[in-house]
């Protein structure tokens, strides 16, 4: 089965694109579409896409991003529960809201601390050739995923930053279809920000 998934579907800008990457891209686009519309089925799509991207990133020696996909797949269960049964601090149903100012500062500090910790871990325990660039989207995505699960509008700003850095990282690795996907993610994150801002 893995041989079939890693079979070349076509060549894009001189780099082979596998069927695995094609399927993962389609699932990821469907997931973001669901997230923008607050459709809870985006979470199981996230788990499936993450499982495929784990395989792709591991093969490309992007171990931080591969590990992040495992986290995404597990957190998808939590996110799915949050969107179905989650509540606000006052006990009301979970809804789109803005992150309190104090929490914005905490989110930024968390990103600043997690980035070097992730990069050092990758340098010590893997053979990645891009520990800092792999570590950044890995670390910051952890914060973005939490904010998304709790329906904070600012999750879209976090994803814009993550996706911009990821475009450069995946281009360096020759994952051109994924580069295109993350370019679309940037645009969709802007759409998500606008849509959720209206709902808030």
144/148 Cα distance (integer angstroms): 6
In a domain, 9, yes or no: no
pLDDT digits (tens, 9 = 90+) for 84-105: 999 988 889 899 999 999 999 9
Residue 198 CB partners (closer than 8 Å, separation 6+): none
pTM for this entry: 0.86
What's the whole-number mean pLDDT along residues 99-112?
A: 96
In a domain, 155, yes or no: yes
Evaluate whether 62 touches 173 at the Cβ level (below 8 Å): yes
What's the whole-number mean pLDDT along residues 121-140?
A: 91
pLDDT digits (tens, 9 = 90+) for 144-200: 999 999 999 999 999 999 999 999 999 998 888 889 999 999 999 999 999 999 988
Could you tell me how far CA 24 lies from the centroid of its own chain?
A: 12
Helix ranges (DSSP H) in the chain: 2-5, 19-36, 42-59, 63-85, 101-125, 131-149, 155-172, 176-199
Q: Which domain holds residue 106?
A: 18-86+100-199
Write down the pLDDT at residue 174: 86
In a domain, 54, yes or no: yes
In a domain, 109, yes or no: yes
Q: Please, which pLDDT band fits residue 32 given cuts at 50, 70 and 90?
A: very high
88/97 Cα distance (integer angstroms): 10
Percent of the chain at pLDDT exceeding 90: 70
Write down the pLDDT at residue 9: 81
In a domain, 61, yes or no: yes
172/182 Cα distance (integer angstroms): 14
In a domain, 93, yes or no: no
In a domain, 47, yes or no: yes
**What is the phi/psi pair of residue 122, to 5°?**
-65, -40
Q: Domain total for the chain?
A: 1
In a domain, 2, yes or no: no
74/72 Cα distance (integer angstroms): 5
């Amino acid at each position: 089965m893995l041989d079939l998934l890693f079979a070349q579907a076509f060549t894009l800008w001189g780099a082979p694109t596998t069927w695995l990457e094609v399927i993962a891209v389609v699932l990821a686009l469907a997931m973001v579409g669901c997230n923008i519309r607050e459709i809870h089925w985006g979470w199981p799509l996230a788990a499936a896409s993450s499982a495929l991207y784990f395989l792709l990133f591991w093969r490309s020696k992007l171990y931080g991003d591969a590990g992040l996909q495992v986290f995404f797949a597990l957190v998808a269960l939590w996110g799915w529960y949050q969107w179905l049964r989650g509540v606000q601090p006052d006990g009301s149903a979970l809804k789109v809201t803005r992150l309190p100012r104090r929490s914005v500062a905490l989110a930024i500090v968390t990103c600043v601390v997690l980035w070097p910790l992730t990069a050092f871990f990758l340098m010590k325990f893997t053979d990645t050739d891009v520990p800092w660039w792999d570590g950044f989207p890995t670390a910051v995505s952890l914060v973005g995923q939490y904010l998304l699960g709790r329906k904070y509008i600012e999750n879209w700003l976090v994803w814009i930053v993550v996706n911009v850095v990821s475009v450069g990282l995946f281009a360096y690795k020759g994952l051109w279809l994924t580069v295109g996907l993350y370019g679309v993610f940037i645009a969709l994150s802007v759409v998500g920000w606008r849509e959720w801002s209206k709902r808030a």
